[in-house]
A and B are shown apart, each in its own frame.
Chain A
């Protein structure tokens, strides 16, 4: 049975509404992120070091990782605590796109193409707008898989484009 059913195919081209990340760029969150990626660039903490960018900034890819679960949202970890297929991923806060009807299929990160235009400064708020650019089925030695391509633009509230990402997600 093909993975790319008409039901799944209908998602190609669907876009989400632009929406804001729940928090502005927070210095503490930037610090934890920079320490986790082990990038000691002083521009992540000091306005002087980040002068070229107009102040202290977040790491280049940070805007694409700041769309977290908003305060008061349902707790998916608790809701699915007894679901043996729950992989721990909290979808729905990620990109504003409806989840594909592929329950139980494993999810792997298949690669990405990213264009950078500016870094987000501390205190700025960031919007994203995503769409399902394409969904393809591919036959591999270990069976069929779906390649889901999601294109997302991240901008500041003032309208500055920060980065554009095309992610390939493997579902199998």
Chain B
């Protein structure tokens, strides 16, 4: 994970290097279900998923996809930055076996006294290019030659 990314080194329109995950097999989904102790059947019980809940197959957990977005933003912000806010919708299903690409694009920049705020669009596409998890985020980055973003993070008063 990078140490630092300066606010001045980011431009609107920049694409963040995407984070690849997968193919996400049923063991991956089982491992996540076990790690968080959630036994929702639609992630491992094929007859329940397709028969009872009428889904097209076993689903990749939305809760797992959300971790991937948090990881991408955290790694991009670096140790001295801070991934403050993220919002997203689970708009399309991803099925077991899919390969996911987690992406982000800089859409705006805003200055506050202690750090800069970068607005991004985020999302997750599969190998067919289908977007499943569109959203947006705000990341705080330090100004060049200035200290790291304060930790614990304190939002700007206007924000």
If A41-B1, A109-B63 touch, whether A89 touches B39 (CB-CB below 8 Å) is: yes
- Report yes or no: B32 in contact with A118, Cβ–Cβ below 8 A: no
Give B100-141 interface residues, CB cut-off 8 Å to A.
135
Task: Please indicate the chain A residues that have their CB under 8 angstroms from the CB of B154 in the complex.
Answer: 117
Task: Please indicate the chain A residues that have their CB under 8 angstroms from the CB of B53 in the complex.
Answer: 87, 106
Chain B interface: which of A11-19, A53-61, A131-139?
A: A53-61
- Report yes or no: B87 in contact with A114, Cβ–Cβ below 8 A: yes
- Report yes or no: A89 in contact with B84, Cβ–Cβ below 8 A: no
Task: Please indicate the chain A residues that have their CB under 8 angstroms from the CB of B21 in the complex.
Answer: 38
If A33-B35, A89-B40, A116-B82 touch, whether A110 touches B70 (CB-CB below 8 Å) is: no
Min CB gap A85→B, angstroms: 7
Task: Please indicate the chain B residues that have their CB under 8 angstroms from the CB of A35 in the complex.
Answer: 31, 35
Task: Please indicate the chain A residues that have their CB under 8 angstroms from the CB of B1 in the complex.
Answer: 41, 43
Give B50-69 interface residues, CB cut-off 8 Å to A.
52-53, 61-64, 66-68
- Report yes or no: A115 in contact with B48, Cβ–Cβ below 8 A: no
B93, closest chain A residue (CB):
A108
Kindly state the separation between the CA atoms of A111 and B1 in the bound complex, as whole angstroms: 27
- Report yes or no: B86 in contact with A113, Cβ–Cβ below 8 A: yes
If A41-B1, A89-B38, A90-B38 touch, whether A108 touches B67 (CB-CB below 8 Å) is: no
Whether A157 is near chain B, meaning CB under 8 Å from some CB there, is no
Size range of the interface on B?
35 or more
Whether A74 is near chain B, meaning CB under 8 Å from some CB there, is no
If A111-B88, A112-B87, A116-B82 touch, whether A60 touches B151 (CB-CB below 8 Å) is: no
Task: Please indicate the chain A residues that have their CB under 8 angstroms from the CB of B42 in the complex.
Answer: 87-88
- Report yes or no: B45 in contact with A36, Cβ–Cβ below 8 A: no
Whether B37 is near chain A, meaning CB under 8 Å from some CB there, is yes
Option from A106, A116, A168 in Cβ contact (under 8 Å) with B84: A116
Task: Please indicate the chain A residues that have their CB under 8 angstroms from the CB of B145 in the complex.
Answer: none
B35, closest chain A residue (CB):
A36
- Report yes or no: B48 in contact with A108, Cβ–Cβ below 8 A: no
Chain A 122-140, CB-CB to B under 8 Å as 1, else 0, gives: 0000000000000000000
Please name 6 further chain A to chain B contacts, defined as beta carbons within 8 Å, in addition to the given A32-B35, A87-B42, sorted by A numbering: A37-B67, A61-B70, A89-B38, A90-B39, A111-B62, A112-B66
Q: What are 18 A-to-B residue pairs whose CB atoms are below 8 Å?
A: A33-B35, A37-B64, A37-B71, A39-B71, A41-B75, A52-B148, A59-B70, A60-B74, A61-B67, A87-B40, A87-B52, A90-B39, A106-B53, A111-B87, A112-B66, A113-B86, A116-B70, A116-B83
Which residues of A pack against B, CB within 8 Å? Answer: 29, 32-33, 35-39, 41, 43, 52-53, 59-61, 65, 68-69, 77, 84-85, 87-90, 106-118, 160-161, 168
